[in-house]
Amino acid sequence: MLVVSLAPAADGAKYASALGVVTSMSQARPLNVGLIGLGTVGSQIAERMLTWGPQLSRRAGVELCLQKVLVRDVTKRRTIDISPDLLTADPDAILDDPRVEVVMEVAGGDEPMRSYIERAIQAGKHVITANKVVMAKHGPELLDQAAEKNVDVYFEAAVGGGIPLISTFRTDLQANRIESVSAVINGTTNYVLGRMAAAGLSMADAVREAQDAGYAEADPTEDVGGYDATYKLAILASIAYEIKVRPDEIYREGIQGIEPVDFRYARELGYAIKLVAHTQRHTGRVEARVHPAMISLDHPLARVEGAENAVFVEGDLVGKVLLMGQGAGGRPTASAVVGDLIDLARSIRRGVQSRPSFSFDDRIGVVPIGEVKTRAYYRIRVDDRPGVLAAIGQVFAEEGVSISSFIQKDAWSHDMTAELVVTTHPSLDASLQKARERMERLEPVHAVSSFLRVF
Amino acid sequence: MLVVSLAPAADGAKYASALGVVTSMSQARPLNVGLIGLGTVGSQIAERMLTWGPQLSRRAGVELCLQKVLVRDVTKRRTIDISPDLLTADPDAILDDPRVEVVMEVAGGDEPMRSYIERAIQAGKHVITANKVVMAKHGPELLDQAAEKNVDVYFEAAVGGGIPLISTFRTDLQANRIESVSAVINGTTNYVLGRMAAAGLSMADAVREAQDAGYAEADPTEDVGGYDATYKLAILASIAYEIKVRPDEIYREGIQGIEPVDFRYARELGYAIKLVAHTQRHTGRVEARVHPAMISLDHPLARVEGAENAVFVEGDLVGKVLLMGQGAGGRPTASAVVGDLIDLARSIRRGVQSRPSFSFDDRIGVVPIGEVKTRAYYRIRVDDRPGVLAAIGQVFAEEGVSISSFIQKDAWSHDMTAELVVTTHPSLDASLQKARERMERLEPVHAVSSFLRVF
C-alpha cells in the first residue's frame, strides 16, 4: 500500500512558521483519509489532494493523507493521474482499516452507501458525505449515532454543491429563528425550464438537450419528477428548524405538465416558471413543498439561470439572505467536500472529538399541502360560447377563491375553443384543487391544461 | 453588579437531553460576556441575549451571561428593557474584569476601540468585533497578537452585516484558490445611485433622501467617498488571499462625480452604475480597487438594490458564488455578532483555545491602478464643429486605446456644443487616464464630464 504523502514541500516551512498554533504540524501524525467513489466528484477531490497537498495541509494544520480510494473497477482508465496502489474494490480496505480516521463518501445512492457510512461511524471514523439521498432519508439517525460515537458527520456537499449552506445554518445564522427557506435547488430542471422559456422548446426536446449537455441523466425522473429537490429540501428544512423532515413528508410535484405556452403567459403576467423548493415556519408546524411555480420577475429566484442553484433564507434577525452558485458538478462539489475535510481536520487536531450535535425536535410536523395558503395560475381550454365565464366564475366563488387576474385570448376558430388564464389571490390549496376538479367536470370545459402555484 | 442569567428555563432540560455532547451544560460554568456599545447594533445584541437566552445557550452548549455593557452615558433612556446595573461608563469594568472571557465590540471607529480590543486580547479575552475600521487597519496585527495569546478574534459582522462572508472564506472555500472578489458592499451609495437611476435625482438630493431614510450619516463622506467600501475590501482581500492588504493600498474613488445623465447613457448602453469593490489575483500580486463602475445589466451585481450588499466570489474549484443580503443595520449585524458568539462559545467549551490563526503572506503586493486593465466610459462635452471627432479619435489611437462604442447625441444649439459618449475595450488604466488628460487639453473639448470604469 502506498501512502501518498501530502507533507508540505519546499515552501511548507515558511507557511508553518507563519501559522502560530500549528507550528508543530510536522510533528503531528498525518490524518488518513479514505475516499469512496472516483467518478466526477471523487476524481476532483483526489486530484486536489494529490496536486495541492502542501496548501491543503497548511490550511488544515495537519498533513492530509489520501490512504485508499474505493472504486468499482480498479482496472478502469482514469481521467486523473492516480497510483493504482491507491485503488481498491474492497470496502473493507477502508472501513476496517483502523488507520483511516475519515471516510469521504461521494459515490451516491441509498444502499450500500448508508451501510458504509454507518459502519464508518460505528468504527469511530468521521464521515464527510455528498450523499443527499442518505442524508435526507437517514440523516438524523446517522447524526445521532455519530454523536454517541463522538465522531462527526459533515455533509455540506449534499445540498447546493459548493454553495455554503449547511455551514451557514449550522454556524452563521445560529442567532436567528429561521422563518423560511425558498430555493431553486435542482440544476437540471432549471436548465430545462430555462430552455423552454428562451427557445420555446417542448419539454421533451429541452430534456434531450439537457442530456446532451450533461445536465440530465439518461433517466431524468429523479430530477424532472422533483425527487432530487425534495431530498435537498428535507435536509435544509431539518437543519433550519432542527426538526426531522422526511422526504416523503414533503409535498412533491415535478415539472412534467408544463407546456411552452405557459411560459408565454408567465411572461405576459410578469413571472418566470421555476421548480421551487419552499419551507416556512408556522406555529408548531412547518410547511414544506416542491413544485413548479410562477415567480415574480422581481424575485431573485426568478433570475437563477441555467444549472445554477440559489437559496433564499429568511431569519428573524438577519432578514433575507441569498446564496447562489453552481449547485452540482465535480469541481463545486469537491470544493465543499475538501472544505469539510479541512474544517474537520482542524477540529480533530485541536483535540475536539465532535462538534455540538444537531438536536431534532420530534414534535414539529409538516402541514398537509391542502392547508397551505398559496396563489394559483390556471390555464383552461373551454368552448367559445356564452355562459362559460359565468360557470367558471361560479366555481371559484363557491370555493371561496378570489380571482386576481383573468386573460382570455382570441378564440381558435378551427375548433371553436378558447383559452382562459386565471390567477388567484392566496387561498387554501385544497380549495384551489377543488376548483380545478370542479372545472374539469364542467361541460364546456375541455381541460384545465395547466395548474401552477404562484410563488 | 447583577448577572443576568441566561440559564435554560422550563424547556431547557428537554433541549439539553436531546443534545448529546452538551448534556453536562448545566454543570459547566457560564460564559461571561462584556459588550462595548449599546447603539443600533448593541441594543439588538443585548435584546436577543436577554430575551432569547435559553435558545442561544442551548445552541452554544453553554450558559451565556451578559455581564456588563459599556456605554457613554449610563443615564440615557434606552429603547430596550435593560437593567441599569448592567451598564457602565468605565471600560476597565469590562477590560480589567477577569471573569469576562469574551468582549464584543460594536461601538465602531478607530480609537479608543483598537486599544480596547488590544487590551482585551492581552488580558487573554476572546474578541468579537463589528469594527471594519479597526479590522481593516489593524486586523493582521490584532490577529497575530490573538494567536500569541491563544485567544480568538471573530469579525464576521465587520463586512456585509449578517451575510456569511468571513466564515465562507475561512471555512467553506478553504479548498479553493480564490481568483477574485467583486462586491457592492456599501448600502448608502447603492441607495443613492439607485435613487438617481430610478427617479433622476441629483446626487445632492439623493444623499439628502438617504439621510432622511436613515441610510446615510449627517456627514456622508465615509460612504460617498468610498472609504467604507475600501475598509471592507481590505478585510475581504486579506482573508481571501491570506495577505496583508491595507486600506491605503487600495485604489479608491467615490461616487461624487456622477450626474443623472450618466444613468441615462448607462441604460442605453445596457449598464447599471454601482460603487464596486473589486480584487483579483495576479501572478505574485493582487488588484484591489473601489470606484463607481458601469456594470452590465446581466451581471448579478447590477441587480443589487437599495441598501443591500452582494459579494461575488470566484474560486478555482467552486466557480462563482454570490452572497447577498442586508449589509448593515442593527438586526443583521447583531445576527453576525451573536452567531460568532455561539461559534466561539462552542469552541471554548470544547477546550479549544483558539482556531487556527490566519497566515498573512507579506510578499504579495497590490498592483498600482495604472497597471490594471479595464474598460472605460467617457462623457465628453465638445464644440459641435468639424474635426473634433478626428482629434479625439487620434488621442485614443495614440494611447493604444481601442474604442468599443461611440454615441453622439444631437447638438445643443444654444451653445453649439455636443455630448460624446465613448466606451473602450480593455486597456491599461494609465492609458485611459492619459487619454482623458490629453482630451481635456484639446481646444474643442470643454470637459471630460464623466469618466467611469466599465466592469
Strand, helix or coil for residue A171: helix
Q: So what's the pLDDT on residue B146?
A: 95
Q: Would the CB atoms of A61 and B342 count as touching at under 8 Å?
A: no
| Closest chain A residue by Cα to residue B318 | A332
Res. B3: pLDDT tops 50: no
pLDDT tens-digit readout, A356-369: 777 788 889 999 99
| Closest chain A residue by Cα to residue B51 | A175
Tally the residues of chain A. Answer: 455
Give chain A's largest Cα–Cα span.
88
The closest of A427, A428, A447 to A437, measured between CA atoms, is A447
Q: Domain B12-162+330-349, what fold?
A: Rossmann fold (3.40.50)
Res. A5: pLDDT tops 70: no
DSSP string of B397-435? HHTTPPEEEEEEPPPBTTTTEEEEEEEE-SEEHHHHHHH
Q: Domain A371-454, what fold?
A: Alpha-Beta Plaits (3.30.70)
Residues B83 and B4 sit within 8 Å (Cβ to Cβ):
yes
Catalytic residue among A68, A125, A132, A232: A232
What is the mean pLDDT of the segment spanning B400-422?
A: 87
CA angle B296, B451, B326 (to 5 degrees): 50
What is the mean pLDDT of the segment spanning A380-395?
A: 92
In angstroms, how far is CA A434 from the centroid of its own chain?
31
Q: Would the CB atoms of A19 and B59 count as touching at under 8 Å?
A: no
Give the one of B18, B176, B325 whose C-beta lies nearest to A318's C-beta.
Answer: B325
Q: Would the CB atoms of B175 and A21 count as touching at under 8 Å?
A: no
Residues A53 and A7 sit within 8 Å (Cβ to Cβ):
yes
- How distant is the Cα of A424 from the closest Cα of chain B, in angstroms? 28
The residues spanned by each domain of chain A are 12-162+330-349, 167-325, 371-454
How is residue A58 annotated by DSSP? H
From chain B, the residues in CB contact with A177 under 8 A are 55
pLDDT tens-digit readout, B201-251: 999 999 999 999 988 999 999 999 999 999 999 999 999 999 999 999 999
From chain B, the residues in CB contact with A361 under 8 A are 18
By CB atoms closer than 10 A (0-12, 13-18, 19+), residue A14 is middle
Strand, helix or coil for residue A20: coil
Residues A41 and B378 sit within 8 Å (Cβ to Cβ):
no
Residues B174 and B183: their CA atoms lie apart, in Å, by: 20
Q: pLDDT band at B4, cuts 50/70/90?
A: very low
pLDDT tens-digit readout, B118-176: 999 999 999 999 999 999 999 999 999 999 999 999 999 999 999 999 999 999 999 99
More confident of the two residues B451 and B349:
B451
- How distant is the Cα of B243 from the closest Cα of chain A, in angstroms? 11
By CB atoms closer than 10 A (0-12, 13-18, 19+), residue B342 is buried
Residues A68 and A82: their CA atoms lie apart, in Å, by: 11
Q: Would the CB atoms of B168 and A171 count as touching at under 8 Å?
A: no
| Closest chain A residue by Cα to residue B162 | A318
pLDDT tens-digit readout, B273-304: 999 999 999 999 999 999 999 999 999 999 99
Give the one of B167, B324, B337 whose C-beta lies nearest to A322's C-beta.
Answer: B324
From chain B, the residues in CB contact with A168 under 8 A are 164, 167
Q: So what's the pLDDT on residue A10?
A: 36
Res. A218: pLDDT tops 80: yes
Q: So what's the pLDDT on residue B322?
A: 97
Q: So what's the pLDDT on residue B18?
A: 32
Single-letter amino acid code for the residue at B374:
T
Residues B443 and B440: their CA atoms lie apart, in Å, by: 8
The closest of B192, B215, B187 to B202, measured between CA atoms, is B192
Single-letter amino acid code for the residue at B285:
R
Question: And the C-alpha cell for A69?
Answer: 480510494
Q: Would the CB atoms of A164 and B173 count as touching at under 8 Å?
A: yes
Give the one of B21, B172, B336 whose C-beta lies nearest to A356's C-beta.
Answer: B21
Res. A15: pLDDT tops 80: no
Q: Cell 490512504 identifies what position?
A: A67
| Closest chain B residue by Cα to residue A299 | B303
Q: Would the CB atoms of A331 and B318 count as touching at under 8 Å?
A: yes
Question: And the C-alpha cell for A251?
Answer: 409535498
Q: So what's the pLDDT on residue A2?
A: 36
Q: So what's the pLDDT on residue A353?
A: 64
Question: And the C-alpha cell for B327?
Answer: 449589509
- How distant is the Cα of A349 from the closest Cα of chain B, in angstroms? 10
Q: So what's the pLDDT on residue B19?
A: 32
Residues A78 and A359 sit within 8 Å (Cβ to Cβ):
no
The closest of A414, A418, A396 to A405, measured between CA atoms, is A396
CATH number of the B372-454 domain: 3.30.70.260
Res. A4: pLDDT tops 50: no
Q: Would the CB atoms of A172 and B176 count as touching at under 8 Å?
A: no
How is residue A168 annotated by DSSP? I
Across the A:B interface, residue pairs with CB atoms under 8 Å apart total: 215
E strand map for A40-135: 64-70, 87-88, 102-105, 126-129
Question: And the C-alpha cell for A71?
Answer: 472504486
List, in sequence order, every residue forming a beta bridge with A297; answer none if it has no partner.
Answer: none
First and final CA of chain B: distance in angstroms?
55
If residue A388 lies in a helix (H) or strand (E), which one and from where to where? helix A388-398
Rg (CA), chain B: 25
Residue from A48, A172, A178, A357 whose CB has the most chain B CBs within 10 Å, to mutate:
A172
Q: Cell 435558545 identifies what position?
A: B55
Please, where are the H alpha helices in A322-387?
Answer: 330-349
Q: Cell 445512492 identifies what position?
A: A109
Residues A240 and A178 sit within 8 Å (Cβ to Cβ):
yes
Res. B444: pLDDT tops 50: yes
Q: Would the CB atoms of B18 and A360 count as touching at under 8 Å?
A: yes
- How distant is the Cα of A184 from the closest Cα of chain B, in angstroms? 14
Q: So what's the pLDDT on residue B20?
A: 31
Residues of B noted as catalytic: 232
By CB atoms closer than 10 A (0-12, 13-18, 19+), residue B408 is middle
The two beta strands, B126-129 and B153-154, are parallel
More confident of the two residues A46 and B417:
A46
List, in sequence order, every residue forming a beta bridge with B281; answer none if it has no partner.
Answer: B286
Q: Cell 482630451 identifies what position?
A: B439
Res. B21: pLDDT tops 90: no
Q: Would the CB atoms of B339 and A173 count as touching at under 8 Å?
A: yes
pLDDT tens-digit readout, A124-161: 999 999 999 999 999 999 999 999 999 999 999 999 99
Give the one of A335, A336, A359 whose C-beta lies nearest to B18's C-beta.
Answer: A359
Give the one of B19, B339, B350 whose C-beta lies nearest to A352's C-beta.
Answer: B350
More confident of the two residues B23 and B401:
B401
From chain B, the residues in CB contact with A44 under 8 A are 317
Q: Would the CB atoms of A21 and B162 count as touching at under 8 Å?
A: no
Beta-carbon contacts of B444 under 8 Å, excluding residues fewer than 6 positions away, are B382, B383, B385, B387, B388, B391
| Closest chain B residue by Cα to residue A165 | B172
Q: So what's the pLDDT on residue A414?
A: 77
Strand, helix or coil for residue A231: helix
- How distant is the Cα of A63 from the closest Cα of chain B, in angstroms? 14
**Residue A298: CA atoms inside 13 Å, Cβ hemisphere, count?**
2
Q: Would the CB atoms of A171 and B172 count as touching at under 8 Å?
A: no
Residues B394 and A87: their CA atoms lie apart, in Å, by: 64
What is the mean pLDDT of the segment spanning A183-207?
A: 97
Q: Cell 451573536 identifies what position?
A: B338
Superfamily covering domain A167-325: Dihydrodipicolinate Reductase; domain 2 (3.30.360.10)
- How distant is the Cα of A432 from the closest Cα of chain B, in angstroms? 34
Q: What mean pLDDT is reported for chain B?
A: 91
Residue A351 to residues A120, A233, B30: CA-CA distances in angstroms?
20, 33, 22
- How distant is the Cα of B435 from the closest Cα of chain A, in angstroms? 38
Residues A432 and A425: their CA atoms lie apart, in Å, by: 10
Q: What mean pLDDT is reported for chain A?
A: 91
Res. A6: pLDDT tops 80: no
Q: Would the CB atoms of B318 and A326 count as touching at under 8 Å?
A: yes
| Closest chain A residue by Cα to residue B324 | A322
| Closest chain B residue by Cα to residue A333 | B318
Q: So what's the pLDDT on residue B353?
A: 64
Tally the residues of chain B. Answer: 455
Res. A77: pLDDT tops 50: yes
Q: So what's the pLDDT on residue A349?
A: 80
Known catalytic residue at A232: yes
Residues A352 and A343 sit within 8 Å (Cβ to Cβ):
no
pLDDT tens-digit readout, A321-376: 999 999 989 999 999 999 999 999 998 887 776 677 777 888 899 999 999 999 99
Res. A113: pLDDT tops 70: yes
